[in-house]
A and B are shown apart, each in its own frame.
Chain A
């Protein structure tokens, strides 16, 4: 018997979790987005250090300094993002770091034999080790990744959302292999929020919520409802009881918009002066929906209609008539011209010019407002940006400080400033408070509130249910690419939202994997 006791504490994300894992068992680790599942796995595999508590592996103290260190001790992890080099062959990937060679020259025969042996361990006899990884299906790649992590000395194998990319057949196959592994005494930690899978595969289940262990018990006898119940049930925030904002006229209507299987025929109506929240698990199509609405990807069906609106600087000073955009906007440029803004999920790569000053970043959305005949009015621009720094309470040395030097929260405030600078009608927000500390978060909420009050329509995607319940007037829940439910303020409970988010568990067509790889989608590729 292999006993592992753990107990850690990392500042914000994980609070003193104590768990044990036995040889030959499958322990499911589940919880909402951000509950701490990934962090816990990363600590186990030496990717992040535990800041408190200790681990024991087979009675010995265990404190992996790095992933390599963890692997030396038999603890391996199959990550969500594949770690394979697509241009190299299966064999080269499997044996990377210990390729058989003679004076630097590869011994191909020995390499392929060793690779074949390793693949056979999980029953993968149909894959030729000489195939480049890029030629394999995503499911096969996942299996190769698993094979790579199956050395003889593997004692604990962590699988992080292993079925996210797999078809049902591949999933069945994976489960067979997991059974073989456990029969050999390998302990499996299976991280997933797919409850029906957990019921099939897990011996025990550990539920995390807000970084704390809620429950760890045998799977037998637990229903999915029981599990959902355990994932929720936390203190209700004061803000959650505030009244619904007075919504104005319709700002934007979305009719049956879709792209492949990632987003399937979503319809919704967005009013001025309201915050419409979008909840759902990662991979449920939330981000994809926002990208469609912003024209970053082209929809292959459906339409977006912008209601008639009053004159404003962003519309060139004349009132706008109602206009329908078939298959959404052609490009982000078209969307922005029509008065839409996007605060993207990844502000560093898609939002900011990190090496440039705050001033440059904040006014990017409308340079005509700070220029005359193409020449920038720098004093005016500085004054405008100073104003944003004050109202948004950006902590910085001044408008000339490069944005890359600011903290995450203050960087996000600069992104907000950019859309305040441009007088738009609809603002799309994708995880606007990700990586933002509590103090800055409050500032951002206040700003969102003000924007809504001043008549913008806000569509906000968030993984943080509490945040949505506090901020939104309505919450739409996405699951498997569909908008499965829309709740009015006061109608929702955390349970009902979560139940909706998990609702497509039965007939799930593996939305995310299928969509990103779907060659049948007639949509024009994203002009990325």
Chain B
């Protein structure tokens, strides 16, 4: 039987809502305040924190985390998750190291191989979850293991010292800042534009909001899903290159547990785990918050256990604040 008309329809123009750019700016401002607060706190706690050296160190440490977080932002926006990024990063670093050390490849070819490795891993995750309609959580969990195993296989379970072949990527260029930081910054900017200004970005948000509605509006979600995972893999491959350039070595254990750090950065930035809502710029703030927290706790001499306890609390607190804010602004 048909449901009868509900007696009252929702008031159309009741609550005056803030224009989009204002809420957007509010988010940025909130995160910037948190970040500044943390910097201030650590500067107060440690006399060494407020120095160019600290910030240069942070800037040169974050590119790998940042580019993976960009990919993860897209994945979360389409209501997926990719747990394999840490492993993919390690495998990409490993294949490029093997290419240079064992097969005598040129550096550009080895770099391309690293990127291709990431791309293939991501595509597999995306394609498998789309083809069999599996949750990406499960598929990427499997990939996390399988890819890590492959990294051990390629490196023979030993750290491979690449030397300074690709260290230019991590070498300071201007004021101590590396090329890698520049690349990460560029990727953040481009990704934000892709998200907000392209058809692809629009489709990602739509799929994360209501996949069935997208399908019935004529948008095929499948290629977009696969593309997002492929892109995330590619970025993890790039992160692998950045990491091995910085350390001048490919460690098969590199990036173990890093997927959680990446997800934490994205979530601190306010991207929803339920999909449909997120921003690359806020993710960048999330990355900075995590990096500052880590550097600051190290400088004030916090022990490893207390560092982890504090980091855990900060992640949850950040998400609570964001949730409250969202709920207040909710439809």
Contacts and interface: CB of A to CB of B under 8 A. Distances in A.
A90 to B, nearest CB: 27
B11 interface: yes
B209 interface: yes
A199 B71 CA distance: 65
A421 to B, nearest CB: 10
Contacts of A435: 3, 5-6, 9
Contact of B17 (A352, A374, A401, A408): A401
A332 B2 contact: no
Interface string A394-437: 01110011101111111000000010001000000001001111
Nearest to A32: B2
A13 B4 contact: yes
A336 B144 CA distance: 38
A151 interface: no
Nearest to A433: B5
B272 to A, nearest CB: 10
Interface in B198-229: 198-200, 202-203, 205-206, 209-210, 212-220
Interface residues on A, range: 35 or more
Q: Which of A34, A356, A404, A434 has the largest count of B CB atoms less than 10 A from its CB?
A: A356
B80 interface: no
Nearest to B218: A336
Interface residues of B, number: 39
Given A191-B1, A528-B212, A10 B200 contact: no
Interface in A178-203: 191, 193
A375 interface: yes
Contacts of A375: 197-199
Contacts of A333: 215, 218-220
B324 interface: no
A142 to B, nearest CB: 16
Nearest to B220: A333
Contact of A34 (B2, B15, B202, B218): B2
Is chain A's binding surface mostly helix, strand, loop or mixed? loop
B209 A356 contact: yes
A409 B12 CA distance: 10
B278 to A, nearest CB: 12
B197 A356 contact: no
Interface in B1-38: 1-13, 15, 17, 19-20
B328 to A, nearest CB: 15
Interface stretch (A227-235, A343-351, A477-485): A343-351
A361 to B, nearest CB: 9
B1 A367 contact: no
Contact of A353 (B12, B200, B210, B215): B210
A354 B331 contact: yes
Nearest to A462: B2
B5 A12 contact: yes
A117 to B, nearest CB: 33
Given A364-B217, A405-B10, A33 B210 contact: no
A292 to B, nearest CB: 14
A355 B276 contact: yes
Contacts of B9: 407-409, 435, 437
A268 interface: no
Interface in A83-139: none
Contacts of B276: 353, 355-356
B12 A410 contact: yes
Given A342-B216, A350-B212, A528-B212, A282 B1 contact: yes
A396 B7 CA distance: 21
B277 interface: yes
Contacts of B202: 360, 367, 376
Contacts of A193: 1
Interface stretch (A36-44, A241-249, A259-267, A443-451): A36-44
B227 to A, nearest CB: 12
Contacts of A344: 216
B199 to A, nearest CB: 5
A90 B203 CA distance: 44
Contacts of B19: 400
A12 B13 contact: no
A41 to B, nearest CB: 9
Contact of B218 (A10, A161, A422): A422
Given A356-B206, A367-B202, A408-B9, A463 B215 contact: no
A12 B213 contact: no
A65 interface: no
Interface in A311-362: 331-333, 336-337, 342, 344, 349-357, 360
B199 A367 contact: yes
Contact of B1 (A80, A351, A405): A80
A379 B8 CA distance: 35
Contacts of B216: 294, 296, 332, 342, 344, 350-351
A20 B8 CA distance: 29
B138 to A, nearest CB: 20
A11 interface: yes
A310 to B, nearest CB: 21
A352 B210 CA distance: 8
Interface in B268-324: 276-277
A337 B215 CA distance: 12
A516 interface: no
Nearest to A335: B218
Contacts of A167: none
A237 interface: no
Contact of A364 (B198, B219, B220, B277): B219
A160 B1 contact: yes
A11 B2 CA distance: 17
B315 to A, nearest CB: 24
Contacts of A13: 4-5, 7
A202 B215 CA distance: 46
A418 B217 contact: yes
A391 interface: no
Contacts of B8: 11
Contacts of A161: 1
A193 to B, nearest CB: 8
A402 B217 CA distance: 18
A431 to B, nearest CB: 8
Given A211-B4, A366-B218, A463-B2, 4 more contacts: A354-B331, A364-B214, A364-B218, A435-B9
15 contacts: A10-B7, A13-B4, A34-B1, A38-B3, A191-B1, A333-B215, A352-B213, A356-B209, A360-B202, A395-B12, A396-B13, A404-B331, A408-B9, A434-B2, A435-B6
Interface of B: 1-13, 15, 17, 19-20, 197-200, 202-203, 205-206, 209-210, 212-220, 276-277, 331
